[in-house]
Copies of this chain bind each other. A is one copy, B any other.
Amino acid sequence: MEAADPANPRSQSEFRLGPVEVPKASEVLAGELRERILTGELVEGDPLPAERELVKQAQMSRATVREALRILEVQNLVRVKTGRAGGAFVQRPTTKSMANSVSMLIRGRRIKLVDLMETREALEPFCAELAARNRADEDLTELDRANAAIAEPEADLAQFLQANLDWHVGVAVASRNELLTGFMSALSQAIYAGTENAAFVDTEVRAVTTQAHRAITNAIRDRDSRAAGRRMRRHVHGYAAALALADERDAIVVGQPAVGE
């Protein structure tokens, strides 16, 4: 064991020491740059110094500098352009990298489509309530546009799903809560991928969907948050039930090309 043993000189002193962390040079550089981005010292579009310039400033090799830039690139904090006038340009974090993490989690852990639908049932009614309170007029036009696209009889499955996604994300945007919007974007994208092969979308489904959307949109338009929440709850729950019918519960796992920044 590790009991103190006065006979052993080495066990006399009491202090213990956790594993010492030795950060990699590239991570240190990346962290440094990341702070300057996140604190706002560097803003959207600002160019980082050229690689060879960073080499001189940071006194590191180019390989190290490049690995640091690659880290920031994966985290979607910079976008790197080649050629003259190229370089690393600052990006503000968007929901995109979050959506990537979410879809990797979903794929890697084999999360079931029902779980996505459940999560959606948690988020969307609340989104609708907030949207009814906080919406601007332009949000309504977007919702109407998306809903019109859903009804479009010429549209194929992909277009239907895209328009459907647009409407749902539109509600989240109207809630004026960026975090909620981020969650919904990531989630919707994953649901899109999981529903892609669901061939249960026929003319009737579209009609029902459009009508439900219209009712919810109207509640949002009227700033009636209770109605918006209630209708959204019914709508999402109904959609989930329809999906569950279309396939046995445990069969559907979400697969998606994922990521790709």
Contact = CB atoms under 8 A, between A and B. Distances in A.
B115 A122 contact: no
Nearest to A124: B122
A37 B94 CA distance: 25
B77 A75 contact: no
A2 to B, nearest CB: 23
A174 interface: no
B105 A182 contact: yes
A100 interface: yes
Interface of A: 26-27, 31, 34, 37-38, 63, 66-67, 70-71, 74-75, 77, 92-95, 97-98, 100-102, 104-109, 111, 115-116, 118-119, 121-123, 125-127, 130, 177-180, 182-183, 187, 258-261
A177 B113 CA distance: 11
A116 B70 CA distance: 30
Nearest to A177: B115
A123 B126 CA distance: 9
A256 to B, nearest CB: 9
Contacts of A259: 31, 34, 75
Given A31-B260, A111-B179, A118-B126, 7 more contacts: A38-B108, A66-B67, A75-B101, A75-B104, A92-B108, A100-B101, A118-B180
Contact of A98 (B26, B66, B94, B105): B105
Given A109-B92, A260-B31, A101 B98 contact: yes
Q: Give me the 5 closest cross-chain CB pairs, A-B, nearest first.
A: A122-B126, A93-B108, A98-B101, A74-B74, A101-B101
Interface SS of chain A: helix, strand, loop or mixed?
A: helix
A105 B95 contact: yes
Contact of A183 (B70, B77, B100, B183): B183
A114 to B, nearest CB: 9
A93 B115 CA distance: 17
B31 A119 contact: no
B104 A118 contact: no
B121 A179 contact: no
Nearest to A175: B118
Nearest to A183: B183
A130 B109 contact: no
B183 A119 contact: yes
Nearest to A105: B93
A115 B95 CA distance: 15
